[in-house]
Amino acid sequence: MSVTIKDVAREAGVSPSTVSKIINHSPTISDATSQQVQNVMERLHYFPNAQARNFATQTTHNIVFLTKLEPHTAFTNPHMFEIMCGVREALAKREYNLSFVSVSQEEDAACVAERIIAQKSADGIVVHGSATTKDLALFLVKSNFPHVIIGKPAFESQACWIDINNHLSGQIATEHLLDCGYKRIAFIGGKPEDGISAQRLKGFIKVMEDKEVAVPANFIKDGDSTKSDGFLLANELLEGTCPPEAIICESDSIALGVVKSIGVHGYSIPDDIALICFDDFPLSRLIDPTPTVVDIDVHDMGFQAGSILIRKIKNPALQVQTYTTLPNLIVRESTKLI
């Protein structure tokens, strides 16, 4: 016969209502009593009926992670999965489930969110930047539904969001190269509409302007964040009459192409040309020599997003728009003092 809430209460020496409050994380129960009851639940192998609990509290204990999926997303956008793992870790601490919902086009995101809310299939939504649209943000604000957007929207909005300061990342990378003694520094980034790349470029330009170091117009390149584009854009830099002493690569994929180009042109890293990129992902370890990186703990950003969403579920009036998780410089073999 299965263990009941009354069995737990009797064994723990408390009332069934106290056990119920502990199951529902009531703040009115002391930590000592809560721990005592949880120990009894574990010893008796008692598992609360989630459906009954959710019905009584009118909650689902489910959070939706809304994103846009495309072929090869795991390679083109590895951030997303680290963020999702961080969100799940935060939610698991409060016994929330995380459901993965994807759209093929950003324009579909608002309709999907509307359906989720209408069906009452979730208590909150975490929106990945790839699925963020103005219509979606406006709908979430008007509906007052608990939400957190990963990445600052590229438009004015009252929606809750959390982001990493990519502008600062670009500054850190540039300052490190200048501190090493490099002056002729180039930047190879993604397309201009890539918000992360654009912010990192702004950080690069700001530091160079502040230090009064000239940046030739042809030292700033943009294209697809791919190895092939990295190779072609680096070729343009290295075939000039005055090639750069250092190159900032906005992504690991770009860096792979840049390293190939440097080798083709008979240069070595870091003796002839230094290299720095962003994000300490496994892909960066495939680059030889191992590159210096400005690392961003996106797992922690996901964890904080999940924690903020739990707070917003409890307090719908909570408004959060913030940068979090400071970038961290990891110096490796691709840069050196000159």
- Alpha-carbon Rg for the chain, nearest whole angstrom, is 25
Output 220 or 279, whichever has higher pLDDT: 220
Letter for the amino acid at 31? Answer: D
Residue 300 confidence (pLDDT): 93
Task: Give residue-wise pLDDT tens across range 303-331.
Answer: 999 999 999 998 988 999 998 888 999 99
Q: How far apart are CA 28 and CA 104, in angstroms?
A: 45
Letter for the amino acid at 122? Answer: A
Range from 70-74, 170-174, 269-273 carrying the lowest mean pLDDT: 70-74
| pTM (two decimals) | 0.76
Residue 266 confidence (pLDDT): 96
| Residue entry with tokens 């119920």 | 20
Task: Give residue-wise pLDDT tens across range 88-140.
Answer: 999 998 889 999 999 988 889 999 999 999 888 899 999 999 899 999 999 99
Output 24 or 195, whichever has higher pLDDT: 195
Q: What are the beta bridge partners of residue 169?
A: none
pLDDT above 90 for 47: no
Confidence of residue 55 (pLDDT cuts 50, 70, 90): very low
What tokens does 140 get? 């979430």
Task: Give residue-wise pLDDT tens across range 141-166.
Answer: 999 999 999 999 989 999 999 999 99
The full 3-state SS of 15-52, as one line of letters, equals: CHHHHHHHHCCCCCCCHHHHHHHHHHHHHHCCCCCHHH
Range from 36-40, 148-152, 245-249 carrying the lowest mean pLDDT: 36-40
